[in-house]
A and B are shown apart, each in its own frame.
Chain A
């Protein structure tokens, strides 16, 4: 319990030196990872069940060659693809937003620096240091958050694509 409080204190100190923008980075990062984990769960756990059911349905059909059959297959694949790529767009947006939020922190930090300069002049660099740490820490946090998402997202997209192709390929016209 004590160590948890200490951890929380250190997080709060970090956020205090980095400014409130870090909260936004944290929220964006949290939502992003929740969505990413949910997608992985869906692709790896729920989608196989769904895929097997669709393939079984297809194999159970008598007619697999007519125009109707083509369209039905397309619809099924499209439905699966929609289910698979749900919220991927949101994840990608969140990844793209991270550096922008970091930049926001940079600029607000610089504003703090210049505000202090406007009041105190350049005589005391210690006063400016607070603003500068508010400028650099969110940038770093935003970059890290973005990088943590970039690879996972491209991996996720690849997985979705191959899953859709795999599904389409497992429903041959016979």
Chain B
């Protein structure tokens, strides 16, 4: 790199000296001319420099003027600032005075503002959850604005509060029908015609609806009240205008109805009975089955006996009385005492068949309540164990156990009641057959024999 640079410098020096030599050689007179020219241009440059100096000087004067002007402006602004500060302070004072004046002028109006806000706050809860809001939606928005506002309410807002309160009042005295969006238990929304009874209840075709204030939707109750109440409600809903129909209303606006849905259903209660409950149920079914079988066979036996009574001449092997009569027909020749013994024997043979199964029904009817009692005691033991563990502080824990204890009692009684009834029915049925066999068969045979002899 250095070598290249050196080479370049040498080449330049050689070229310049060659040029100078050539000029000097060509014309020396031109040197004077050049000198003259240099002198000339020195004067011209001097003039130019002078002129530039002049320009700079004039510029400087301008700048000085500008500076002076800016200084003057600054002074002016500063004084203006001072005066404005003064003005601001004055205004502050005026403002304070005016505010005091305003408060003095408001006087009782301030209290009114408090009352308006209080009334709005109080009303929000009632109106938001009221069944009337199912029909007229979004009424509580305005009240909420009014309750949260910092300013003094305007006359328009005051009127809105008045109207909101009076709408609630007027509507709670009305029964009105409207079309509304009802969200079913399966989550599907559908439009249904709804009858609103004041602020108390919403009735649709399926029964009572409840208004959910959070979602602004109407929902059917998870569990409707007793069927006759629902039937009355539906009849009321479908009544023509001007017709008077009774209806059950919930004065709490749906809370009681919601509370009712928390009651346990029958199936839930059944399973609360636990093992004793299941045993009782099985026994009940066994008892009912035996009862049904015995009812059929006793009916057949009694029908057979009745048919045989009308046809004493031909004893049939198929019924009890027939078999007894057969004994007489086979032993017509024997003396009276032997015949009686033989008849007694035949009757003895028939009796167990007729009385069969009746005892066991009575036994089950007696065992049912006992098992129920057993369940009760088991439940109570459970309850007391809970008390030992958790104390009596929370009655809810105990209540579950106790209701289990009671359910088994109910089941025991429910087992005993029908079985007692069935037992008494079967007993009287079998008694009537037995009476015929036991007490009347000898007489029937005697009457028949007399007739044959005559």
Contact = CB atoms under 8 A, between A and B. Distances in A.
A72 B399 contact: no
A103 interface: yes
Contacts, number: 111
A97 B421 contact: yes
Contact of B424 (A63, A67, A90, A100): A90
A80 B84 CA distance: 130
B278 to A, nearest CB: 18
Nearest to B336: A67
B442 interface: yes
A75 B399 contact: no
Interface in B399-445: 399-400, 402-403, 406-407, 409-410, 413-414, 416-417, 420-421, 423-425, 427-428, 431-432, 435-436, 439-445
B428 A90 contact: yes
A101 B410 CA distance: 10
A46 interface: no
Of the candidates B402, B424, B425, B436, the one having the most CB atoms from chain A within 10 angstroms of its own CB is: B424
Contacts of B427: 89
B413 A93 contact: no
Given A68-B449, A89-B427, A75 B444 contact: yes
B424 A75 contact: no
Interface residues of A, number: 39
A52 interface: no
A117 interface: yes
B443 A107 contact: no
B19 interface: no
A147 interface: no
A100 B409 CA distance: 11
Nearest to B440: A75
Nearest to B428: A89
Interface in A79-123: 79, 81-82, 86-87, 89-90, 92-94, 96-97, 100-101, 103-104, 107-108, 110-112, 114-115, 117-119, 121-122
Q: How large is the interface on B (under 10, 10 to 19, 20 to 34, 35 or more residues)?
A: 35 or more
A74 interface: yes
A79 B440 contact: yes
Contact of B403 (A67, A81, A111): A111
Nearest to A24: B417
B100 interface: no
A162 to B, nearest CB: 19
A120 to B, nearest CB: 8
Contacts of B450: 63, 68, 72
A94 B424 CA distance: 9
Contacts of B440: 74-75, 78-79
Nearest to B335: A67
A107 B447 contact: no
B201 to A, nearest CB: 18
Interface stretch (B146-154, B209-217, B261-269): B261-269
A118 B399 contact: yes
Contact of A100 (B269, B417, B428, B431): B417
Interface of B: 259, 262-264, 269, 336, 340, 369, 394-396, 399-400, 402-403, 406-407, 409-410, 413-414, 416-417, 420-421, 423-425, 427-428, 431-432, 435-436, 439-447, 449-450
